[in-house]
Amino acid sequence: MKNITILAKLFAGIFFTLVGLTSCEVRERLVYLQESNLDTIQKVKNTYSPVLRVDDQLSILVGGADQEALAAFQFYSTSSSTNNGQNLQLLTGINYLIDINGNINFPVLGFVQLAGKTRLEAVKYLQEQLAQYVDNPVVNIEIKNFKFTVLGQVKSPGIHMVSTDRMTILEAIGKAGDLQITGLRNNVLVLREINGERIEYRLDLTNKSIYNSPAFYICQNDVIYVEPNFTANFQGTNFQTYTQLGTTFVSIFLSMFTLITLTK
């Protein structure tokens, strides 16, 4: 009986030690934006502004006091809709595509170079150009085809379209349903194309240093890939089968040892 008590205490000690170590390890692997000092306040200056690129589709609306002068710059497409048996004509502003040369073909102004400018720079530039024809013009530009792709260990992989041009890596992963438990959080890959060159960024989502990464804010057509972690790789190998057999063998051995001890 004394041997059984010692054995039970030994296994209990080992069990709780493993549980404690595992809990710490799980937190380090799964928790986002970890900080050793919970009272630390980290301030990061937000200077991000999206840059317009080739193949962007832009909604450009021009406003001002002189409606007659504005008419030449306000293009709309017409679509039909039925409501309570009545046919309605809807006016929708047309989108302007940035061509391979970085231009849009704008009414009266002709080809206007917008690629390479931030959205706010493009607004200011168009307002300056339109001031030749309209008093105090007001311009609003919206990117209509802002999209990104998330692949790998997330709950909803695929292409995601959004109505904003300011989205962080955390928001993008949230749109994809968050990472699965098998997703590697400290080595997320972001693929980005800049001026025809593909650039790779590696982000550690468990570290607040991602605030300072150029890939913290998602750009148009970014591809985010979440690698499988050790658990996923482990589950996909035959090693798991051997481990289960080994665990079963150890359990049988301990049962036999306890039985022999009790018969003494």
pLDDT of amino acid 16: 47
How much of the chain exceeds pLDDT 70, in percent?
Answer: 62
What is the distance between the alpha carbons of residues 154 and 176, in angstroms, rounded to a whole number? 6
| CA 201 remoteness from chain centre | 13
Query: Tens of pLDDT along 62-115?
Result: 888 888 888 888 776 544 555 565 554 444 567 899 999 999 999 899 999 999
Read off the pLDDT band of 215 (50, 70, 90). Answer: very high
Sorted by sequence, the CB contacts under 8 Å of residue 35 that are 6+ apart come out as: 42, 208
Mean pLDDT of the chain: 77
Q: What residue type is 234 in one-letter code?
A: F
